[in-house]
Structure 1
Amino acid sequence: MSVIDSIRKQIVPIHHEGYIFILAFAVATAILSYIWQPLGWIGFILTMWCCYFFRDPARTTPMAEGLVISPADGRVSMIASAVPPPELGLSDLPMTRISVFMNVFDCHVNRAPVPGRIEKIAYRPGLFLNADLDKASDDNERSSMIIESNGQRFGIVQIAGLIARRIVSFTREGETLLAGERYGLIRFGSRVDVYLPEGVTPLVGLGQTCVAGETVIADARPAATRTYRTH
């Protein structure tokens, strides 16, 4: 491996959605430095944070059939029974919902939790409450989609947070996603909810830290075929 390849391997790529923000931070830093140098150092730190926020690292996704992978980096803030967003038309009955909360230091590129076809995408404008609150599921701006995977329908909901102001989608209805494939991004603090079909078992606990595209959060295999290691 060459020195250049080694350097490239260590550098985490930045998602293109962040370029305009990084440029704005850099210009502001230059102006602040001209006004007063200590302000310039503050601007420099904020610019580095912006680069860090929009990082887009490679991930290694478990490919075993029936696994549900975390769609977001962050902390499992809720595991509850809840009715999915009405605009999806997914179910009128409560489903198990796993919520992963992303703070401003987490990577905000979202990934498909299961492989399958995007059956529906629905956007709903709303408020910008703290995404860690339960009522954010009902009141906040959100973008929801249904993925049909092996005959099961999963609901995935991106929820804007307190300082988030845009949900970005990279996909369209009818497209097919692989598990762990990038499908969207939320700018700044936010949350992603996953609604699980009946019979799918959560494998994470409250407060657990998840890695998008890598952490297994649920098992969608039939109960009779499930085997787990014991230690």
Structure 2
Amino acid sequence: MASLPARLSAAVPRQFAPSTRRYALPPAILAVLLSVFVPPLGLLFIAVTLFVLWFFRDPERVAPDSGFVSPADGRVSVIRREDDRVRVGVFMNVTNVHVNRAPADATVESVTHRPGAHKPAFSKDSERNERVDVDCGEFEVSLIAGAFARRIHPYVEDGVSLERGQRIGHIAFGSRADVLLPERFDATDVCVKKGQRVRAGETVVARQS
């Protein structure tokens, strides 16, 4: 049976990703200390703290009733056929929300971490980057680290039931999220184009008529 934190990962409203404190607390402490002794540096670390809070924002989203939705905010960077499947990838830059969401209803069969490089997430070399693959049977979501991303934080585990648009994880500081569509989908079922802006949990990237 899925753990309580995993079951509640998407159900509990929140404004920031779960690991925000880990990244925001050190500059916040430095900001307080330096504001007393070196005020200009204190202001700098206040700005850093505010940036971290903004970067790890986690707004609410309303998923549509059907279709495969984008797993990430950003721009579509990959649409390609892999054997008998179609992959749609979304590149997240520093201005995008980095919380990732389930493309469709499913049950998680496995969550696998694969070590690797940290090449820019928009490059072809990123296929060898560190990643976490969330296998949902018919489809798979891959959370891929980028040049500066060093932590992928999955929120789900084996056996968890997902709903379309549910939070499934986040990646710190630049990355890519892909969905490998079910075999029954082909290129004509993809609803987006390369370069198109999409929103996690809301923009439909593939739908069968």
TM-score grouping bracket, smaller chain normalisation: 0.7 to 0.9
The one-letter code of the counterpart of 2:79 is I
The one-letter code of the counterpart of 1:144 is D
Aligned match for 2:100, one of 106, 110, 114 = 110
Distance 2:18 2:143 in 1: 19
Larger radius of gyration: 1
Aligned to 2:131: 142
| Structural RMSD (CA) | 1.6
Identity of aligned residues (%): 39
Aligned to 2:148: 163
Distance 1:37 1:126 in 2: 41
Worse-superposed segment, 200-209 or 30-39: 30-39
Distance 1:35 1:81 in 2: 58
Distance 1:167 1:35 in 2: 36
| SS across alignment from 1:122 | strand
1:63 is displaced (CA, Å) by 1.6
- In 2, are the aligned partners of 1:114 and 1:147 still within 8 Å (CA)? no
Per-residue Cα deviation, 1:139-182 (whole angstroms, up to 9, x for no partner): 1100002213xxxx111100011111111111111211000011
- In 2, are the aligned partners of 1:180 and 1:213 still within 8 Å (CA)? yes
Q: How does 1:126-205 map to 2 (within 5 A)?
A: 126-137=116-127, 139-148=128-137, 153-200=138-185, 201-205=189-193
Aligned to 1:47: 49
Aligned to 1:30: 32
For normalisation by structure 1, the TM-score amounts to 0.79
- In 1, are the aligned partners of 2:84 and 2:183 still within 8 Å (CA)? no
Aligned to 1:56: 58
Worse-superposed segment, 36-45 or 162-171: 36-45
> Structure 1: which 5+ runs fail to align?
1-11, 83-92, 227-231
Aligned residues: 193
Q: Give the number of the structure with larger relative contact order, counting CA–CA contacts within 8 Å between residues 6 or more apart.
A: 2
Aligned match for 1:18, one of 17, 20, 26 = 20
Distance 1:166 1:133 in 2: 19
Aligned to 2:6: none
The one-letter code of the counterpart of 1:217 is V
Runs of 4+ with >6 A deviation: none
Aligned to 1:214: 202
- In 2, are the aligned partners of 1:165 and 1:187 still within 8 Å (CA)? yes
| SS across alignment from 2:78 | strand
- In 2, are the aligned partners of 1:143 and 1:167 still within 8 Å (CA)? yes
Per-residue Cα deviation, 1:53-81 (whole angstroms, up to 9, x for no partner): 111111000022xx000111111112122
Distance 2:97 2:168 in 1: 14
1:188 is displaced (CA, Å) by 1.1
For normalisation by structure 2, the TM-score amounts to 0.86
| SS across alignment from 2:19 | helix
| SS across alignment from 2:89 | strand
> Structure 2: which 5+ runs fail to align?
1-13
1:34 is displaced (CA, Å) by 4.0
1:105 is displaced (CA, Å) by 1.8
- In 2, are the aligned partners of 1:13 and 1:56 still within 8 Å (CA)? yes
